[in-house]
Amino acid sequence: MNIRTLAVNGIIAALYIAVTMLIQPLAFSAVQFRVSEMFNHLIVFNKKYFFGIILGVFLANLFFSTLGVLDLIFGFGQSVIALLITIFASRYVKGIWARMAINTTVFTVTMFLIAWELNIALDFPFLYTWLTVAIGEFVVLAVGAPIMYAIHKRVNFEKLVG
């Protein structure tokens, strides 16, 4: 990994953490609107953003989650799995909007892992919790897609990390 890619990934991780910190009450509960999740869309522009995104998720969960090691395992794991599925699917889909739709769908569906975590840790009902966290994830990613696309038009995420 070259210095530029490393630096950009560090900035992405820092932004993920900062945004999560700002909306902390909305980021960790049965109904989650973790606005920083919109950074997950960076993966559709370039797979080199993978490390910045997962580092941001890991550190945000480490510093702000009240669920401790469970959130490090489930939250981090869910992000890794969803990002890897999106990277794989993106090989076969060329359009940015289609990739963002796939990414949104994958992250929404894989929120069952977060529902499972909340069921284990807090005894929340699994199916209801899956529904609520999935809706929150879907809303954030659906609203985040045009925002990330607009920023991409100014910054060019595909070439930013080389």
What integer pLDDT is reported at residue 75 of this predicted model?
94
Least confident of 17-26, 74-83, 103-112, 118-127: 17-26
d(CA 115, CA 137): 12
d(CA 45, CA 144): 14
Does 124 or 32 have the greater pLDDT score?
A: 124
pLDDT-based confidence at 125, cuts 50/70/90? very high
What integer pLDDT is reported at residue 91 of this predicted model?
95
User: Which percentage of the chain shows pLDDT scores above 90?
Assistant: 87
Please identify which residue in the block is written with the tokens 């401790």: 68
d(CA 87, CA 131): 25
What integer pLDDT is reported at residue 26 of this predicted model?
66
Q: Where are the alpha helices (DSSP H) in the chain?
A: 3-22, 24-27, 50-64, 69-90, 96-109, 112-122, 126-155, 157-160
Domains and CATH numbers, the chain: 3-160 (1.10.1760)
Which structure tokens are listed for 141?
Answer: 């990613």
* pLDDT greater than 80 at residue 25: no
What integer pLDDT is reported at residue 83 of this predicted model?
98
| CB proximity list for 1: less than 8 A, separation 6 or greater | 9, 48, 51
- Tens digit of each residue's pLDDT (9 = 90 or more) over 32-75: 778 999 999 999 999 999 999 999 999 999 999 889 899 999 99
Three-class DSSP category at 34: coil
What integer pLDDT is reported at residue 24 of this predicted model?
78
pLDDT-based confidence at 118, cuts 50/70/90? very high
* pLDDT greater than 70 at residue 27: no
Find the mean pLDDT for residues 25-35: 74
Find the mean pLDDT for residues 96-107: 98
What integer pLDDT is reported at residue 52 of this predicted model?
98
